[in-house]
Amino acid sequence: MELPEYEVAMNTISENTEWPPRSNSERLFKRVCHLIHDDGAGGGPLTVLRHLKYYFRKYDIVLIHGGCGVLQEYCRTEKIRNVRLPIDRLWKCLWGWVPLLIHLRRLQPDLLILHGQWGAPLGSVVGKLAGVKRMIYISHWPAFYTDWDLYRVVRNRIAESIPVHLCDKTICISPENHYQYQIRFPRLQDKFLQICNPFDIEAPSPSGAVVVRRQFGWSEEHIHVVSVGRLSSQKHVEWLLESWLEVQKRVPTARLWIIGSGEDENHLHSMAVKLEIERTCTFLGAQKNGVDFINASDVVAMTSLYEGHSNVPMEAHLCGKPIVANSVDGVRVSITDGIDGFLVSPGDVAAFSRRLVELCESVGIRKRMGEQGKTSVLKFSVKIIMEAYSKLISDLIGE
């Protein structure tokens, strides 16, 4: 079935990666397929990338994805087979399931790993139709955090229930996510495991931070606070803008840099003007390497209302930067309040501004928290986290 967005990369890494593939009985390696609905922006593709880096020499890996981004680029560089299908938007799945079914039947994977949101219900149903015997669902972004009206409650219940029931295991990426799944599916406790996101603990190149400071004129005499993320209702950047009004008064040398774009962008621009903080608050839009801005900053700010397991606190720790963040699901798992950052009750604008002021005014606290963060992030290293995944995969399909 040929479609405009249908693409197969027929790269090879060894004699066992032929196309069409051999039967299961003839293969030298177990075949593991990863499916993500959209290789686009955000932390999901970056997390899948870490899985691919860890697995691809141990198993016969195939990536199935919608869209094109860092994952497709990596697969082409490392010669990992990847199949691009029209599944990056929910409405495209109305026909995108057909080529997905065809490929899964041809591939005969020993294991199908489902990443993300609607890719999970789609992939689990089609996987069953294709005869895939083992499936894992990694819940990168649990839908139930948006249960704020009847339509979403029903939609989210269906979206989560299908992969949870059809897959052998559901991976919850933070303790809070795990607890929520236990509440919602009390009879399926044996299917749930809690494994945090793996994180690459190799420090980013200092040259990236130097380029950022030079390009945007970040002066050494200013204290630079950075927020990195989508400008959406989930991130609640308006709380950060409201808190910045007080920071601007207390610390005249402080500068706020907001990295990201999204549906709330125009509203937030107007809000900054209304609050009269546009002199010290600058929106830089979406940037390719958000970690370089974190590395160039003095302080990181994060006002999300919920996360799966956010990359931003781990990136702040890796770069040795203190962070002020809301004490919410998927964030507090990475931050120890008062040790490697500050946690604030969501929506407490006054407390958030006080913590920002405290960090802006004290080089000593920034340095102490930054150094502690470099130690804190080690528990999420790819090596440690992926060992847990390797054991799970070995238990499911054997070596």
* Confidence class for position 254, pLDDT limits 50, 70, 90: very high
Does residue 170 sit in helix, strand or coil?
Answer: strand
| Across 142-146, 265-269, 296-300, 364-368, least confident range | 142-146
Asked if 244 and 213 count as a contact pair (C-beta separation under 8 A), the reply is: no
Residue 20 has pLDDT above 70, yes or no: no
- Which residues does residue 283 pair with via DSSP β-bridges, in sequence order? 258
Task: Answer with the residue of higher pLDDT: 159 or 42.
Answer: 159
The answer to whether domain 7-198+381-397 and domain 206-379 are alike in fold is yes
Q: What's the DSSP call for residue 145? A: G
Say which CATH topology domain 7-198+381-397 has.
Rossmann fold (3.40.50)
The pLDDT, as a whole number, for residue 13 is: 37
CA distance 30 to 20: 16
Domain residues of the chain, as ranges? 7-198+381-397, 206-379
| Neighbour tally for 335: CB within 10 Å | 26
CATH class, range 206-379: alpha beta
The two three-digit tokens of residue 209, written as one number: 């931070």
| Across 10-24, 291-305, 330-344, least confident range | 10-24
Which amino acid belongs to residue 363? V
Question: In the predicted model, what is the mean pLDDT of residues 28-49?
Answer: 88
* Cis status, amide bond into 163, omega within 30 of 0: no
108 Cβ contact list (under 8 Å, min separation 6):
21, 23, 24, 31, 131
Q: How many CA atoms lie within 13 A of 355 on its CB side?
A: 26
Task: Answer with the residue of higher pLDDT: 70 or 3.
Answer: 70
Task: Answer with the residue of higher pLDDT: 90 or 14.
Answer: 90
CA distance 301 to 256: 9
Q: What is the pLDDT of residues 183-230, one digit of tens each?
A: 999 999 999 999 999 998 888 889 999 999 999 999 999 999 999 999
Residue by residue, DSSP assigns 355-398 as: HHHHHHH-HHHHHHHHHHHHHHGGGGBHHHHHHHHHHHHHHHH-
Between helices 265-275 and 237-250, what is the axis angle to 10°? Answer: 30
Task: Answer with the residue of higher pLDDT: 152 or 10.
Answer: 152
pTM of the model: 0.87
Residue 26 has pLDDT above 70, yes or no: no
